[in-house]
Amino acid sequence: MNPADLGLPVDVPSTALFTDQYELTMLQAALRAGTADRRSVFEVFTRRLPDGRRYGVVAGTGRVLDAVENFRFDAGVLGFLRERNIVDEPTLQWLASYRFSGDIWGYPEGEVYFPGSPILRVEGSFAECVLLETVILSILNHDSAIAAAASRMSAAAAGRPLIEMGARRTHELAAVASARAAYVGGFTTTSDLAAGFRYGIPTVGTSAHAFTLLHDSERDAFRAQVDSLGRGTTLLVDTYDVAEAVRTAVEIAGPELGAVRIDSGDLLLVAHRVRQQLDELGATSTKIVVTSDLDEYAIASLAAAPVDAYGVGTQLVTGSGHPTCSMVYKLVARAQSADPKAPLVPVAKKSMGGKTSIGGRKWAARRADADGIAEAEVVGTGPVPTELADRQLLVELVKGGAVVAREPLDTARERHIAARAALPMSAIQLSRGEPVLPTEYA
């Protein structure tokens, strides 16, 4: 991870403790058994989408690359592992020189996915790959959950700007990652300064109810705000009486008033009334921002209302009912011996209680119809059929330990918009349903 990678000018020497203890104890046992060097293929996939969802959104890939690059065991970390007696000395020595040297392929960030999609494929020795399980899953499960909610909201907003403002509803660093994932999923701006700092996402914000309450009157507060932030600012008009506040706002700022924000009440009704009042006062270009406990359904219900922008908090950072994905990181193939030329053998846990896996290193492609609309997610382990060769989804991300696929966040955002647009129309229906594409195993 880069020093600045947590949304702050911080120095993070390692991501190696974002790890479940069993990864280290497995390493120890495999080193001793002589199996640690067997070439192995791990894949990240999900057995299902969250109930009723039509598609998933891959997000966090860029953060995964940073995490892998900075996965090192420095003296502080090794000292902790030694003191706690978590692993033995030979294992500590092995960890001291750890650098991931394998290959990673995956769906590029912003791409959509379906049950069984091999979202990420990590290949190298068992030892070097097994250690990455937790940090990779933490990032992808969190960020993809947020991006999926964001994508539904941005589809519902149908082009109106969306402001991410959920920092206060989630862990302070999850908030930074959430703002990033929301941007990939189609959001426009964020209130979170750390996300602006780290990822360059445009930040917005003007005032809260506390600012009005601080002053002796709403008029004093509005005047103070306009004096300092200019007429183009957004005034919050629901601290006392909305109609009176709108009147006062236009009186003070004039028709150049940038926007008013409504944060409570029946937004549909209030937005109509406020729009009419603003127009009657001549403030025809003053915008209306609404921000009260919105989710994709509330956004859709305001499609016909005179609303110019939506601010979304809680429901965005909690994935709108699905705060995590169910991605897993599974060994799907490994060599029969430590010989680097030994062929790979597909492996899989026996099915029990629905936890099925399919062994073998996989490719994936999205088959499209004659109009270019996707019709199936095709996943296979053999050779890629010729007709799907140029529809393959996995791209090379890390080659021999070196990251080869860094990209600006806007690229992921644009990719997501394009990938969603290539899905059947029903993808963006908010109603519950099956995945919009079937997954076929070739």
Structure-token pair, residue 4: 């600045």
Verify binding: residue 300, a second copy, rule CB under 8 A.
no
Which one among 121, 287, 330, 362 touches a second copy, defined by CB under 8 A? 330
**Looking at 2, 47, 52, 80, which residue binds a second copy (CB under 8 A)?**
80
User: Which residues on adjacent β-strands are paired with residue 262?
Assistant: 290
Residue from 2, 13, 232, 339 binding a second copy (CB under 8 A): 13
Residues 385-404 interacting with a second copy (rule: CB under 8 A): none
Decide: is 203 part of the binding site for a second copy (CB under 8 A): yes
Binders of a second copy among residues 226 to 245 (CB under 8 A) are 227-229, 233, 238-242
Phi, psi of 39 (to 5 degrees): -60, 135
In the region spanning residues 177 to 196, those forming contacts with a second copy, defined by CB under 8 A, are: 177, 191-194, 196
Task: Tell me the C-alpha distance between 110 and 56, whole Å.
Answer: 10
DSSP symbols for 132-181: THHHHHHHHHHHHHHHHHHHHHHHHHTTS-EEE--GGGS-HHHHHHHHHH
Nearer to a second copy, 132 or 378 (CB): 132
Among 104, 155, 175, 298, binds a second copy (CB under 8 A): 175
Q: Single out the residue of 311, 374, 46 nearest to residue 182, CA to CA.
A: 311
Asked if residue 216 binds a second copy (CB under 8 A), the reply is: yes
Q: How far is the CB of 144 from a second copy (least distance, A)?
A: 12
Q: What is the strand order of the sheet 189-190 is part of?
A: 189-190, 162-164, 309-312, 287-290, 259-262, 234-236
Distances (CA, A) of 397 to 273, 380, 394: 52, 20, 9
411 binds a second copy (CB under 8 A): no
Taking the least distance from each CB to a second copy, the nearer of 165 and 378 is 165
Q: Which stretch binds a second copy (CB under 8 A): 110-118, 264-272, 273-281, 367-375?
A: 264-272
291 binds a second copy (CB under 8 A): no
CB-wise, 264 or 392, nearer to a second copy?
Answer: 264
Segment interacting with a second copy, rule: CB under 8 A, options 103-111, 324-332, 373-381, 395-403: 324-332
C-alpha 378/C-alpha 358 separation (Å) is 14
Query: What is d(CA 311, CA 31) in angstroms, rounded to the nearest whole number?
Result: 52
Return the structure tokens found at 424. 């059947």
- Residue 64 Cα distances to 74, 121, 259, 283, angstroms: 20, 12, 38, 47
Residue 20 sits in the site that holds a second copy (CB under 8 A): yes
344 binds a second copy (CB under 8 A): no
